[in-house]
A and B are shown apart, each in its own frame.
Chain A
Amino acid sequence: MAMIQIREALRQAMQEEMRRDESIFLMGEEVAHYNGAYKVSQGMLEEFGEDRIVDTPISENGFAGLGVGAAMAGMRPIIEFMTWNFSLVAFDQVVNSASKIYQMSGGQYSIPIVFRGPNGLAENLGSQHSTSVDSLYAHFPGLKVVTYATAYDAKGLLKAAIRDPNPVVFLESELTYGIKGEVPDEEYIIPLGKADIKREGTDVTLITWGKQLFNVEKAAGDLAAQGINAEIVDLRSLRPLDHETVFNSVVKTGRAVVIHEGFLFAGVGAEICARIQEACFDILQAPVLRVTNRDVPQPYATNMEQLVVPSPDRIVQAVRTVMER
C-alpha cells in the first residue's frame, strides 16, 4: 500500500493501461507540455510521446468528436475536458455521437472512449465553472457515468472505464485531486456499476457519490455522536446504477437521504428516490429526502456559494427530519 494523491492514482491508472494497450491515447487541452491543467497527466508526455499524449486547441466539440471517430476506427481514446463545464459545447459529440453510434449502426461500431475531467463545485469559480453535469449525462442510455471519492476508487474505476467497450463519462473534482489515500501496489480493477458501502450502519441510509462523500462522512460522525448510526452507500457509478445495494441497505434501515451536488429538479437523486419508493415502499419509515444544490446558478461569494451546496449541517438536519417521523 502506498499513500498517494488522487491525481497520482488517476495518472497511474492511465499509465498502466497505456503500457498494456498501444491503442490508448490521452488528448485534451494542456495535457501534454503543460503537464495537465491540474497536473493529472504530469510526466506522461515524457513517457509516451506526442503521438499518445496530445495537446489540442480550445476546441472541445472538435477533439471530442475526433476521439469518437478514433474509437470507431479501433483506438481507445481518453479525452480530457479541462472541466466538464466545457463539455457542454461538445454535448453533441458525447450524446448524439458517442452514446448512439453503437445503436445506430446496429452494433457494428462500438465506442470505447473515456471522457474525463473535473466536475461540480470547485470553489469561487462562478456559475460557468461550477456545474455538476451528472444528471445531464446519466440521462442517456449508451453512456456509462462513473465517479469516485477516494484514491483507491479513482484508480480502480478509471482502469475499468478505459477497458470498457462503451463511452464512459468519468467525473472528477478539482478540489480533491490533492487528497491522499491508500492504493495497493498490485494491480486491481473495480467493476463499473458496483456501489460501495463506505460506512455500515443500521438507522438510516445515506446515498451519495463523488466528493460529497466527505461531507456525508462528516455528517455521519456528527450523527453517531447523537446516537444515530448511519450507513453510507457510495454509488460510484450513476449508470449503470447499482440499485440492489441501495435497496438492500434501505430494507435494513427503513430510511434514506440522498446527497449530491447539482440541482434537486430532475437531478439523479430524483431517480434514486423514485426507485426506492417503487421497490421499498412497504419498508420505508419516512419519505426519502434529498440534500442537493439549492436551485440557483452558483454564486461567487464564499458565503453565498457555501449556502448553495450540500453541507454536513444540512445533511444532519435532513437525517434528523427522517428519523423524527
Chain B
Amino acid sequence: MAESLSLPEKSSLNPVDRDSLSHLYREMLLIRRVEELAAKAYTQRKILGFCHLYIGQESVAVGAAASTSDDYWMTAYREHGQAMAKGMSARTMMAELFGRQTGSSKGQGGSMHLFDKENKFMGGYGIVGGHVPLATGVAWAAKQRKENRVCVCFFGDGAAHQGAFFEALCLAQLFKLPVVFICENNFYAMGTPLHRQSAVTDLSLRALGVGMVSEQFEGFDVEVVRERVGAAADFARAGNGPVLLEIVTYRHRGHSMSDPAKYRPDGELDEKKKSDPLAITKARLTEDFGLSEADLAAIHESVEVEAQDAWDFAHDSPEPDTSTLYDYTYAPQEG
C-alpha cells in the first residue's frame, strides 16, 4: 500500500484571477457552442458516423488543461472538448468531424480519433478502456527521459470495468509512472446507469487494490478541477507515482447523437443542469470578479464568431485527396 502518501491539499498553481477565469469560461463556452454546432451538422448529415458530445462536462477538460497544458493527454471518444481544451483549434476539430483534408487527422480519423501531436494530444480512441494502457507507455517514456511531464489519461465510468483499465493501474503503480488517471464519471455507460454497471459505485475505490492514491470530487466547477488535477499532477511529477481521480460530472446529451437518452429518470437532467459548469463559472465571474453583462456579452459574441468560423472553414474545406489513400498505413523509413 501507498502508506501515508496522499495528494497535497493545495496545488502549486496560482489562484485564478479575473483574466484567467474569464479565459477558462470562454474555453468552456467555445466547446459548448462548437458541440451545439456539431449536433446541428450531424442532423444535416454533414457529420457522419458516431458523434459523442461533451456538453455538460466542459469544466473537466478545461480545468485539467489549465493545470497540465504542457503534459501529454490521452483519451477516449467523447473527446471534442478535450482536444480543444488542449489546444486544437475549433477549425481543425470541426474539419475532422466533417471528414475534410484540413482536419486534425486529414479526414482519416473522424469524431472518435482526434490527434494533435504539436499540443501533445495523443488521441481519442474508440475501444472502451483500450487506450488506458497506452498512457502508461507515454508516462514510461516521459519518466525515462526525465521530462518532468505527466500523462493525463481520461476515460469514462464505463471503462472502469475493463481489464485493460485494471492492468494499466497495476503497471503504473508498480513502475511508479507519472500518470494522472481521470475517470469522468457521467453516470451512464451508453444507456446503463452506474449502479447497474458496478457493485461499487465509488469508482475511486478501484485504486485501493493496486495501492494507488485516489480522490473523488465533483467537477462542475472549473476552478476545482484545475486545482485538484493540478495537485494530482504535482504529486505524479514529483515521482510519487500515479493518481486516480474520479471526477463526477454529467452529460446533458445522450451517449451519441443517435441516443435520445430516454433511460434517464424524470427530472434528473433538469436537476443536473443546476450545476451546469457554465452557469457556475458565470456566477463566479459576475459575483466575485465584477464581470459586467457587457463583458459577458463580448465573450459570447467572440465565441459565436469563432464557432461559426469553424463551421464555415470545415464546410468550405476540400474532401481528402483520394490519391492519398495508401499514405497512412505505414510510416516511411527514416533516412
Contacts and interface: CB of A to CB of B under 8 A. Distances in A.
A57 B174 contact: yes
B164 A92 contact: yes
A110 to B, nearest CB: 4
A106 B102 CA distance: 11
A72 B136 contact: no
Given A62-B168, A69-B138, A106-B115, A101 B123 contact: yes
A108 B104 CA distance: 9
Nearest to B168: A62
A59 B167 contact: yes
B167 A73 contact: no
Contact of B134 (A97, A103, A163): A97
A164 B333 contact: yes
Interface in B101-120: 103-109, 113, 115-117
Interface string B125-137: 1110011111111
A25 B144 CA distance: 11
A104 B108 contact: yes
A142 B142 CA distance: 25
Interface in B308-334: 327-334
B295 to A, nearest CB: 38
Interface string A32-63: 00000000000000000001000011010111
Contact of A109 (B123, B145, B163, B333): B123
A96 B74 CA distance: 15
A263 B90 CA distance: 50
Contacts of B103: 106
B65 interface: no
Interface string A54-89: 001101011111111111111101000000000001
B137 A96 contact: no
A226 interface: no
Nearest to B132: A65
Contacts of A51: 144
A126 to B, nearest CB: 24
A214 interface: no
A65 B331 contact: no
Interface of B: 72, 74, 103-109, 113, 115-117, 122-123, 125-127, 130-142, 144-145, 151, 163-164, 167-168, 170-171, 174, 327-334
Interface of A: 25, 51, 56-57, 59, 61-75, 77, 89, 92-93, 96-97, 101-112, 141-142, 144, 163-166
